[in-house]
Amino acid sequence: MSPLTIVFALLFYTATLLLVVGLVRRIRLYAKTPAPLKIATTPAPINRSGVVMRMLREVVFFESLFKATKWTWLFGWLFHAALVAVLFRHLRYFTESATLMAAVTFVGPLFKYLAFVMLIGLLGLWVRRLAVDRVRYISAPSDHLMLLLLLLIGISGAMTTFVAHTDVVAVKGFFRALMTFNFDDMPNLPSDPLILVHLSLAALLMIVFPISKLLHAPGVFFSPTRNQIDNPRERRHLSDWARKLES
Amino acid sequence: MAKADFEVPKLNKYPEIPPVVPGAMAHSKPYVAKPAFQEPLNFPGELPEDWKDGAIEAMGDLLGKYRSLRVHLDSCVKCGACTDKCHYYLGTQDPKNMPVGRQDLLRKVYRRYFTFAGKFFPKLVGAEDLTEEVLDDWYSYFHQCSQCRRCAVFCPYGIDTAEISMAAREIMDRIGVGQKYCNEIIGKVHKIGNNLGLPEAALADTLEGLEEDVEEETGVAVKYPLDVRGAEILLVTPSADFFAEPHVDGLIGYGKVFHEAGVSWTLSSHASEAANFGLFIGSYENMRRVSLRIREAALELGVKRIVFGECGHAWRVAYNFLHTLAGPLDFLDSRYPVPQHILEFTWDEIQKGTLHFDKSANDHMVITYHDSCNVARASRMGDEPGGQFKIPRNVIKAVCNHFVDMAPETIQEATFCCGGGGGLLTDDLIELRVKGAKPRVEALQNVIEAHGVTHMAAICAICKSQFGKVLPYYELERDMIVSVHQLVSNAIVLTGQDDPDQGERDPAEVKGESE
């Protein structure tokens, strides 16, 4: 194994560990913190299946953002939808399942161009952040850097597909070895700069995920204004700390 | 036009998003509560020396108690969706009145003391130490939020600035920096039973006067009972209903509806207030103490149902929190909603056909309806989501011939706050109140011009008081604002009522005429 391969192996183990542990701890914190009062924004669903549908519309279509601002919705939704598609295509580096590989191969010719949609989405969001005085006012350096990070990951990734191919078989061998902890046949990671930039930044993204605004991803599911059932007259809603006030 | 020592915003034909003017409202601050107003609420009277530690400790405590606070402080991506949604931003242009700008005042301190990134890379993520300047900003701008939750409707993560404002006010209260208006009022409720400090004798007197007035006008002895044991319904209504215009016309209307429905009802001197300002200061304990008065009154009087009068935030607390704060309420009749809104009651009776109206009594008005924020976005009426929009309009249409809605982006769940909610209905914030009313008044002005609207009906004591005060600044009449039950009261034909023109009329006949 080349020193470079060892460095990246350690980097990805560390990044994965930080991502998983960080997210699990954060999600546990959200789940454990009580929501003592019913605060759903109304009109709200009056049963559980209604709440599931509301959440689905929020997560899949960005319903509230659509109501709020069409441009941000357009760029934000394009970015996220394309990101999902592009990530799906990345499964080919991690799976040996014939079905999944067939699916990835099937969508490949179309999905690989979605990288450009993703970049357009990100650029649109950045232009808005710079051009609209209200959004510029609320932006911290980290808000710009996050867009830069995502753009660089997208650009470097797209370049390995459209400009300078990397040895994808070796990349897959590298990640399969990491995932199975079987290092006997582990190939060396290709050393072309594009893939190294792409992988380094992806690892960085994983590391900052649980300590940054990317927490909006788990956060949306825990938002009491969206996930509560509107039934306070039918059922008493009482948190543990509030119950203690009653004795 | 009312006199102003500030610039009253100009109304536009089409809503526009103004450019940011940093610091435009930094001078706006309500009076600070004196120690005497803090102590009855179990808050310290003055800022202690170690106030920073106290504030951070209070923030930590609330982060552990409220999932909304924790998740909403973490989740914001600064997308900007909320930036043009707040009436105070639209009216003042101060960027700290953009919902996210307001949240960030608390969020930057949260990040500094409670997150990894803020502890180690404060500049990068916009984290800041808690300083006197920051506290100053908190006091100023968390008292420029009416907790109306319009921003929360549009946020892709449902981030609710009201939750953050409430937490900030609670933190400030816990370090002795309370707001005079809210805390003095809560003290009065704890001590006397209502926001106005109206004692039992005065209340009884007022109600007796109402009975005389109504009988004189209609010839029917409609009762406005107080502390009647064994009545079926306890009516809990904002204390403004007891004397101020147009509130009291609403109360007269509730009484007429109960009278015609043939139910026994009573007010309570112990719970002579529907409002619950504990909500505004984010204090669960105070909100609970105020709510418990209603439970105590219901038990003492032995009523079977609780009905709330026209009051926005009171209905939020009643609808969403009463069971939580003052439950279980299983001693009440479960065949009826617990609690019930007066409009639900009236609409039920209209559907049953027990009420008879002469709609022409309201023909001198063209009515529009202001959805109060807490009713629209934080409660429901009836069995279906959205009943809080339909039922008030149904009732208005049942008693008025001329009704027009304002622009769709300014009503229902997107309704604009009156500008005086959330504990800001005080003269020391008049500039904020006038400027914050701009988006609503703009929408009103447009239906005045397009449809000849003459009056705007509301179902919230704060909205009614606020509009009565601020409409003159926009060269509109203060008495344009009416209670929904005032319209009901105008049109209802009581059984056996005298008619000055045609002698005694048969209600059934009148109903036939109006259809």
Average pLDDT over residues A205-220: 97
Question: What total of structural domains would you count in chain B?
Answer: 2
Residue B195 confidence (pLDDT): 87
| CA A174/CA A170 separation, integer angstroms | 6
Structure tokens at B187: 């003290």
Verify that B256 and B303 share a domain, yes or no: yes
- Secondary structure of chain A: what % helix, strand, coil (to 5)? 75, 0, 25
Answer yes or no: do A41 and B377 touch at CB < 8 A.
Answer: yes
Beta bridge partners of B236: B308
Do B396 and B377 fall into the same domain? yes
Of A26, A135, A223, the CB nearest to B80: A135
B181 and B225 within one domain: no
- Residues B155, B211 within the same domain: no
Residue with tokens 């008081």: B465
Which residues make beta-bridge pairs with B307? B235, B340
Interval A15-34 mean pLDDT: 98
Residues 6+ apart with CB under 8 A from B128: B108, B109, B112, B122, B134
- Residues B313 and B234: beta-carbon distance below 8 Å: no
Mean pLDDT across A15-37: 98
- Domain-by-domain residue ranges, chain A? 3-229
Res. B2: pLDDT tops 90: no
Partner residue facing A230 (CB), from B157, B160, B380: B380
CB contact under 8 A, A232 and B323: yes
- With CB atoms and an 8 Å threshold, state whether B378 touches A145: no
CA distance B154 to A45: 17
CB atoms within 10 A of CB B504: 9
Task: Label residues B341-368 b or e (16+ Cβ within 10 Å = b).
Answer: bbbbbbbbbbeeeebbbbbebbeebbbb
B430 found inside a domain: no
Residue A41 to chain B, least CA–CA distance (Å): 5
Strand partners, B167: none
User: Do residues B215 and B199 both lie within one domain?
Assistant: yes
B17 interaction partners in chain A (CB closer than 8 Å): 134
Residue in chain A nearest B282 by alpha carbon: A37
Nearest to A138 among B19, B70, B80 (CB): B80
DSSP SS3 for B236: strand
Say whether both B145 and B245 belong to one domain. no
Residue B417 corresponds to which amino acid? C
Distance from CA of A11 to the nearest CA of B (A): 20
B221 near B215, Cβ under 8 Å? yes
| B134: number of Cβ within 10 Å | 18
Distance, in Å, from the CA atom of A148 to the CA atom of B157, rounded to the nearest integer, reads: 23
Flag if B386 and A36 touch (Cβ within 8 Å): no
Four-CA torsion A163, A167, A168, A174, nearest 10 degrees: -140
Domain boundary among B154, B169, B185: B185
Q: Which of B75, B100, B319 sits opposite A138 (nearest CB)?
A: B100
Give the per-residue pLDDT at B497.
85
State whether B285 and B341 are in the same domain. yes
Nearest to B324 by CA among A219, A222, A228: A228
* Tokens 């209209």 sit on residue: B350
Q: Is B266 helix (H, G, I), strand (E, B) or coil?
A: strand
Residues in chain B closer than 8 A to A247 (CB atoms): none
Span B352-370, pLDDT tens digits: 999 999 999 999 999 999 9
- Of the candidates A137, A141, A226, the beta carbon closest to that of B101 is on A137
Q: Are strands B455-458 and B481-483 parallel, antiparallel or unpaired?
A: parallel
- In chain B, what residues touch A138 (CB-CB under 8 Å)? 78, 80, 83, 95, 98, 100-101, 104
Distances in Å between the Cα of B331 and the Cα atoms of A121, A194, B55, B334, B505 are: 57, 71, 41, 8, 41
**C-alpha B492: how far from its chain's center?**
26
User: Quick check: is B245 in a domain?
Assistant: yes
How many beta-carbon pairs below 8 A join chains A and B? 218
Q: Which of A140, A219, A242 sits opposite B74 (nearest CB)?
A: A219
Residue of B nearest to A36 (CA): B66
Same domain? For B125 and B241 the reply is no
The SS3 call for residue B340 is strand
In chain B, which residues have their Cβ closer than 8 Å to the Cβ of A67? 153-154, 414
State how far the Cα of A144 lies from the Cα of B291, in Å rounded to an integer: 47
pLDDT reading at B512 higher than 50: no
Identify which of B83, B158, B320 has the shortest CB distance to residue A37.
B320
Contacts of B158 in chain A (CB under 8 A): 41, 58, 64, 220, 223-226
Phi-psi label, residue B212: left if phi above 0, alpha if psi -120 to 50, beta otherwise: alpha
User: In this predicted structure, which of B6-15, B31-40, B87-96, B472-481 has the lowest mean pLDDT?
Assistant: B6-15
- Straight-line distance from the first to the last Cα atom of chain B, in angstroms, rounded to the nearest whole number: 40
Q: Is residue B93 scored above 60 in pLDDT?
A: yes
CA B43 to mean position of chain CA atoms: 24
User: In Å, how far is B128's CA from the nearest CA of chain A?
Assistant: 12
Q: Does B320 contact A232 at a Cβ distance shorter than 8 Å? A: yes
Judgement on whether residues B60 and B156 belong to the same structural domain of the protein: yes
Q: Do B75 and A137 make contact, defined as CB atoms within 8 angstroms?
A: no
Cβ distance B324 to A129 less than 8 Å, yes or no, reads: no
Instruction: Tell me whether residue B447 is in a domain.
Output: no
Any idea which fold A3-229 has? Fumarate Reductase Cytochrome B subunit (1.20.950)
Chain B residues inside the 8 Å CB shell of A19: none
- Does ipTM top 0.85? yes
Average pLDDT (B371-395) is 98
Query: Of B185, B216, B243, which residue constitutes the final position of a domain?
Result: B185
In a domain, B231, yes or no: yes
Q: Which residue has the tokens 């061998």?
A: A173
pTM: 0.94
Most confident option among A163-167, B198-202, B458-462, B507-511: B458-462
CA B202, distance to chain mean position in Å, is 25
Sign of the Cα torsion B270, B275, B277, B283 reads positive
The token pair that represents B370 in the structure block? 């202001």
Chain B residues within an 8 Å CB radius of A41: 149, 152-153, 158, 160, 377-378, 413
Name the β-bridge partners of B482: B457
Tokens representing residue B231 in the block: 């009545």
Interchain contact, A62 vs B285, CB within 8 Å:
no
Of the partner residues A42, A216, A225, the one whose CB lies closest to the CB of residue B380: A42
From the CA of B346, how many Å to the nearest CA of chain A?
19
How far is it, in rounded angstroms, from Cα A241 to Cα B482? 42
Query: Could you give phi then psi for residue B236, rounded to 5 degrees?
Result: -115, 120
Contact (Cβ atoms closer than 8 angstroms) between residue B244 and residue B466: no
Residue B497 lies in a domain: no
Please tell me the distance from the alpha carbon of residue B379 to that of residue B192, in angstroms, as a whole number. 28
- Alpha-carbon gap: B70 to the closest alpha carbon of chain A (Å): 7
CATH of the domain at B129: 1.10.1060
Distance CA B367, CA B451 (A): 10
Residue B325 and residue B364 in contact, taking contact as beta carbons nearer than 8 Å: no
pLDDT of amino acid B515? 37
- What local confidence, expressed as pLDDT, does residue B243 receive? 85
Residue of B nearest to A63 (CA): B156
Tokens matching residue B236:
């809990």
How many angstroms separate the CA atoms of A203 and A16, rounded? 8
pLDDT category of residue A108 using cuts at 50, 70 and 90: confident
Residue B28 included in any domain:
no
Q: What whole-number distance in Å separates Cα of residue B181 and Cα of residue B427?
A: 10
Same domain? For B149 and B199 the reply is no
B67, B85, B121 ranked by CB distance to A30: nearest = B67
Contact A34 B65 (CB under 8 A): yes
First to last CA, chain A: 66
Which residues in A lie closer than 8 A to residue B106 (C-beta atoms)? Answer: none
Task: Name the closest residue on chain A to residue B99, using Cα atoms.
Answer: A138
Task: Give CA separation, A201 vs A12, A43, A195, B371, B419, in Å.
Answer: 11, 42, 10, 49, 47
Is residue B425 within 8 A of residue B418, CB to CB? The reply is: no
C-alpha–C-alpha distance, residues B151 and B89, integer Å: 11
Per the domain annotation, does B458 fall within a domain? yes
Cis? peptide before B19, omega within 30° of 0: no
Query: What residue in A sits closest to B151 (Cα-Cα)?
Result: A68
A101, pLDDT greater than 80: yes
On average, the pLDDT of chain B sits at 95
Domain that holds residue B63: 35-185
Q: Which residues of B488-499 are buried (b: 16+ CB within 10 A; e: fewer)?
A: bbbbbbbeebee
Whether A72 sits inside 8 A of B81 (CB atoms) is: yes
**pLDDT tens across B305-356, in order?**
999 999 999 999 999 999 999 989 999 999 999 999 999 999 999 999 999 9
Residues of A in contact with B83 (CB under 8 A): 132, 134-135, 138
- Do the Cβ atoms of B385 and A38 come within 8 Å? no
Residue of B77, B157, B377 lying closest to A42 (CB–CB) = B377
Considering the domain architecture, whether residues B199 and B175 belong to the same structural domain is answered as no
Q: What is the C-alpha separation between B357 and B490, in angstroms, rounded?
A: 9
Q: Which of B115, B152, B153 minimises the CB distance to A211?
A: B115
Residue in B with minimal Cα distance to A31: B67
Block residue for tokens 């009253």: B8
DSSP state of B62: H
Give, for A62, the enclosing helix (H) or strand (E). Answer: none
Counted residue by residue, chain A has a size of 247
pLDDT band at B193 (very low <50, low <70, confident <90, very high): confident
